[in-house]
A and B are shown apart, each in its own frame.
Chain A
Amino acid sequence: SQKIEQNSEALNIQEGKTATLTCNYTNYSPAYLQWYRQDPGRGPVFLLLIRENEKEKRKERLKVTFDTTLKQSLFHITASQPADSATYLCALRSNSGYALNFGKGTSLLVTP
C-alpha cells in the first residue's frame, strides 16, 4: 500500500538554526511532491512544489530536495524563527484517482 512517513516526534530547535524535516514514501511514482504548513485551528497552506526532475527548490529561507531513488524529500528552513513554529506536511499525488495524500506531519518548535 502507499505510505508517506514523516518524523513522528516533534522537532525542537533554537532560533537561528536550520530545521530539517524528512518525508519518506513507498509505492508512489510521483510526478511531484508538495510541502504544506499547518497552524493550530487552520487549514494547510501550500509552501513549495518540487517536480521529479528537480533535485532542489528554494523559496526565501526554504529549501526542498527530492530524491526519487531514495524515495525521500528533505525540507529545510534556514535561519529559523519562532514564527516558523507549526506542523509541516508533505503530500503526494495518488498513483490512481485524484487524491493528494498527506503524511501525518512533523511539529516544529523554534525557541528564542
Chain B
Amino acid sequence: GAGVSQSPRYKVAKRGQDVALRCDPISGHVSLFWYQQALGQGPEFLTYFQNEAQLDKSGLPSDRFFAERPEGSVSTLKIQRTQQEDSAVYLCASSPGSTWGPEAFFGQGTRLTVV
C-alpha cells in the first residue's frame, strides 16, 4: 500500500476483554515500531521489530501486552484483560532501514477505549 495502515481505527472494549490491533507496514520496510499515545502526551515507545525479530520490548507496560510479526511484514499488538488505563491511541511506524532513519512513517493509529 501507499502508507502504513492500521486497523481498526477505533476499538471499544469492555474491561477484561482481549483486543488485537493490526499494523500493515509499507512493503519492504525492515523496521516496525509500536507506540502508545495518551491524550495530550507524546508517543511512548512500546516495542521494536527488525523483520520478524522482536529486538526491543522494553516499553511494554505489563505482561498483558504482547506483539508479534511472524513473517516480517504485518504485525499484531495484543492486549489481554484490558484495563481502563490501556485507553490510548496505539501507533505503528515503519522504516526501510534497520535502525531509525529520516524516513520513518506512522500509521493513523488505533484509538482504544476501555469501558
Chain A interface residues toward B at CB < 8 A? 4, 34, 41-46, 49, 89, 93-94, 97-105
Contact = CB atoms under 8 A, between A and B. Distances in A.
Given A97-B58, A98-B48, A104-B40, A43 B108 contact: yes
Contact of B41 (A41, A49, A94, A104): A104
A43 B23 CA distance: 13
Contact of B42 (A43, A49, A97, A102): A102
A103 B40 CA distance: 11
A107 to B, nearest CB: 9
Contacts of B27: none
A28 B104 CA distance: 21
Nearest to B35: A102
Contact of B99 (A42, A46, A98, A104): A98
A46 B104 contact: yes
Interface magnitude class on chain B: 20 to 34
Contacts, number: 60
Contacts of A105: 41-42
B67 interface: no
Contact of B45 (A45, A49, A100, A103): A100
Contacts of A34: 100, 102
B16 interface: no
A102 B43 contact: yes
Contacts of A43: 4, 91, 93, 106-109
A101 B41 contact: no
Contacts of A46: 102-105
A97 B4 CA distance: 23
A102 B4 CA distance: 19
Contact of B102 (A49, A89, A94, A97): A49
